[in-house]
Amino acid sequence: MKYLEIFTVESNIALNKTCFLLVLRSPVSLETVAAGQFVSIEVKGEDERILRRPISIHDVDKTNNLLYLVVQRIGKATNRLAEIKKNDEISLVFPLGNGFAIEGEKPLLIGGGVGTAPLYLLAKEFKSRGIVPDILIGARTNEQLFLTNRYSALGNLSISTEDGSVGERGLVTQNSVLKKDFDVIYSCGPTSMMRAVADLAKKRNIKCYLSLENRMACGIGACLCCVNENKEGHNVCVCTDGPVFLSDDIKL
């Protein structure tokens, strides 16, 4: 079941220069929300933007009906979202898409930039099953990292920065944690990073899930704007067939 509801802003906290954490109170139960799903937010303002914006679910507090989103300022809508304040109201369509399939005993979660956001709820899910995931976060510099202490509370955290300001210098695919043995990889981040992760997983014969962030208009499978090609050469909707795909099932 999908809902269209007005949420109330509990808080909006800056995490670094461009990212902020939104805590939103839902008027309905969030019981069915799963890791890897997303919401579609209406961003109202004076300018003429009209479409909703898809944002991943970072965390959920089902007891208190709270939804956590991490958003990066990148353009008009996200800049406007950065300005919303406690008690503001905001319209969400949710929960959308298929979440992560939780499987494997030795999972590795690889996030790049704001793509790290949805991996938090996934890590939490593993932890609740008694599995401690490895979490690898990539960023250009330490200024782009966020909430790393919360991630390290859920798993073994490794960090790669391109400038070496924190963790290992280089790309995530060069991080030494990859020497360990894994049976499943989950990744969300820039396409170039996910492509490299998928290649690496294929070489090492590890099952790999990717979460895509294609541009969307409806978010519910009605407009066919968000498509990605699957391995049979057919276009599938990222919003309803994804956003999480097995890397072997799609062309990236």
Ligand X SMILES: Cc1cc2nc3c(=O)[nH]c(=O)nc-3n(C[C@H](O)[C@H](O)[C@H](O)COP(=O)(O)O)c2cc1C
Residue whose CB is less far from ligand X, 102 or 225: 225
Q: Which two tokens stand for residue 87?
A: 């008690």
β-pair partners for 109: 135, 186
One of 14, 28, 223, 246 touching ligand X (CB under 6 A): 223
Sign of CA dihedral 195, 197, 199, 201: negative
Give the nearest distance from C-beta 71 to ligand FAD in angstroms: 4
One of 12, 26, 78, 116 touching ligand FAD (CB under 6 A): 78
Residues 192-231 within binding reach of ligand FES (CB under 6 A)? 216-219, 221-226
Place of tokens 């461009």: 18
C-beta atoms surrounding 92 within 10 Å:
21
Q: Which DSSP category does 67 fall into?
A: E
Phi/psi of residue 19, nearest 5 degrees: -105, 145
Give the nearest distance from C-beta 93 to ligand X in angstroms: 17
Place of tokens 């902020």: 20
Going from the C-alpha of 56 to that of each of 38, 68, 154, the distances in angstroms are 4, 9, 19
Position of minimal CB gap to ligand FES: 239
49 interface partner picked from ligand X, ligand FES, another protein, none, CB below 5 to 8 A per type? another protein
One of 110, 216, 218, 250 touching ligand FAD (CB under 6 A): 216
Task: State the residues that interact with ligand FAD by CB under 6 A.
Answer: 38, 53-56, 70-72, 74-78, 114, 117, 213-216, 243
* Residues at the interface with ligand FES (CB under 6 A): 216-219, 221-226, 237, 239
